[in-house]
Amino acid sequence: MEKSKLMDAQTLSRTLMRISHEILERNKDLSNLVLIGIQTRGTHLAKRIQKNLSTIEGIKIPMGYLDISLYRDDLNQKGAEIKVQKTEISFDLNGKNIILVDDVLFSGRTIRAAIDELMDFGRPERIQLAVLIDRGHRELPIRPDYVGKNVPTSLKEEIQLFLTEVDGKDEVELR
């Protein structure tokens, strides 16, 4: 299938820096702000945002990561394919202002599962959503607060995100 490059390493880095600034603009009080990345690539993006926030503001925002496998609504169809990873949130979520970070927003079902799982850890004050790419086709009423790039896609197309931490390069492709 033909592919086109949506972001190179530099664009990706700038996009994450812009999202980091937007997070700071909207959240004046950083004392109860936490970052939660959705496994696997959302975690790496959250780490980069955490680093950006530290560079800009000089403070380290607490970070956790979430594996949503056990909260999926399609286990019956995909059970055999699902690989359960770790969820690790080492702080209390009650009253926290959470920035949930994922790579690509599509149907919204992953985010629904993530919110359900977060609620099992406590009652956050607010959950905001940051995604690198919003490709549309929502099946649930979920809207991101921070978007790196809106990419209207057809259902036949695929967005592929490569990150240095797992893939050896930073790049976003449309296939």
| Nearest CB to other proteins, comparing residues 64 and 148 | 64
The span from the CA of 79 to the CA of 97, in Å, is: 32
- Cβ distance to other proteins smaller for residue 57 or 88: 88
How many residues of this chain bind other proteins (CB under 8 A)?
23
The CA distances from residue 118 to 17, 61, 67, 97, in Å, are 25, 18, 10, 12
Distances (CA, A) of 41 to 21, 48, 59, 79: 21, 11, 23, 21
* The pair of three-digit structure tokens given for residue 68, joined into one six-digit string: 């949503």
Which of 10, 29, 86, 155 binds other proteins (CB under 8 A)? It is 86
Nearest residue (CB) to other proteins, 27 versus 32: 32
- Which residue, 24 or 82, has its beta carbon nearer to other proteins? 82
Applying the rule CB under 8 A, the residues between 52 and 71 that interact with other proteins are 67, 69-71
**CB of 64 vs other proteins, minimal distance in Å:** 12
Report in angstroms the alpha-carbon separations of 125 from 94, 96, 98, 139, 148: 7, 5, 8, 25, 24
Say whether residue 95 binds other proteins (CB under 8 A): no
Is 28 an interacting residue with respect to other proteins (CB under 8 A)? no
Tokens of 31: 């004392």
Binding site for other proteins (CB under 8 A): 67, 69-71, 75-88, 116-117, 120-122
